Amino acid sequence: MPSPIPVTRLLPKDFGLEFGACSSPLTKTASGSTLRVPTCRFHGKVAHRLWSSVINWRELQTLEAIGSGGFGKVFKSKYFGKTVAVKKVRCVKNKLASRQSFWAELNAAHLQHKNIVRVIAATTCAPAHLNTKDNIGTIIMEFAGSRNLHQIIYGLTDQLPMDKCIKYSKDIACALQHLHAQSIVHVDLKPANVLVSEEGVCKLADFGCSFKLSGKSDATHLVEIGGTFTHRAPELLKGEQVTTRVDVYSFGITMWQLLTRDPPYDGHREYILYAVVAYNLRPTLSRDVFKQSSAGQAYQNLISRCWAGDASIRPTADLLVTELSMIF
């Protein structure tokens, strides 16, 4: 059931809000019905109370499980008759980490961009018949497709065409451009966290490791290291200040995978982590795909700068979009 408390009762009298989007996730427009999250940004206690009031459970119909991760499962569902993805975050051994993952997912809740999976609604509450002891929260998102980029890269028998590699790369770069403009760092960019729609549009997903940089500085320290070890920037491993450039490093590894269709590293995790920091270990750029065309050579140059050990050398997301637009 929806919360019996009106949204207006949860907010200060002087709090500005577009009530139409909050009071019902289903919004009627001239072109039809669309599901959307409030366009305003919410923080602190107000955010917590507001998010707990926007899921209409009677309109949510779970269809099938389509994925799982460290902190929960994702289901293909129907919400107000429209196909959506529902992520149910559950408590694992580390309850604090589970809660942090849920709230980190909502760092992107206010973002509206074609290359970022859109959040529709979220709550930390659930009806009694659906609630379980390990339940942390539920997030309803747009259904962006049943395939991710990892499946596309390693599931095809033939090499991905260069123009498609460039298109996918630019989609991801555009997502990072928008994300970084809001001072949000994804931290866990990798092919498995990029969904590909039926129309071939890449959408960045899974913000469970993300964080928002403080307004006073464009860098911060992470208490716990997030992300996948093969895609972690050296400064993450060394516990140094983290900036948006950690995503650029991960983007470089992801581009390399797009072109080579190989895993970045072979060997034990501990050795790889040590070698990345101590010996500047990176995947090889001597493959034929980087030499056979001008586009491949341009990719080689861009990738080498993206995963530079010195974060200041790495291009910004703005520059990535510009340079990728010039390739081919």
Radius of gyration of the chain (CA): 20
303 burial via Cβ count (<10 Å: 0-12, 13-18, 19+): buried
Question: Binding site for ATP: residue ranges?
Answer: 88
Our CA dihedral for 127, 130, 133, 134, rounded to 10 degrees, sits at -110
3-state secondary structure at position 210: coil
Write b or e for each residue in 9-26: b if 16 or more Cβ atoms lie within 10 A of its Cβ, otherwise e. Answer: ebbeeeeebeeebbbbbb
Residue the block writes with tokens 């980087």: 290
Name the helix (H) or strand (E) containing 207.
none
Contacts within 8 Å (CB) and 24+ apart, 322-325: 323/298, 324/166, 324/169, 324/170, 324/173, 325/170
Which residues are part of the catalytic machinery? 188
The H-assigned helical ranges of the chain are: 19-23, 44-51, 95-105, 149-155, 162-181, 234-238, 245-260, 269-278, 294-306, 317-326
Q: Would you say 202 and 117 are in contact if contact means Cβ atoms under 8 Å apart? A: no
Question: If DSSP codes are grouped into helix, strand and coil, which group holds residue 40?
Answer: coil
Phi (first) and psi of residue 170, to 5 degrees: -65, -40
* Contacts of 77 by beta carbon, 8 Å cutoff, 6+ apart: 60, 61, 62, 63, 83, 84, 85, 86, 140
The answer to whether 307 and 281 are in contact (CB under 8 A) is no
Binding residues: 88
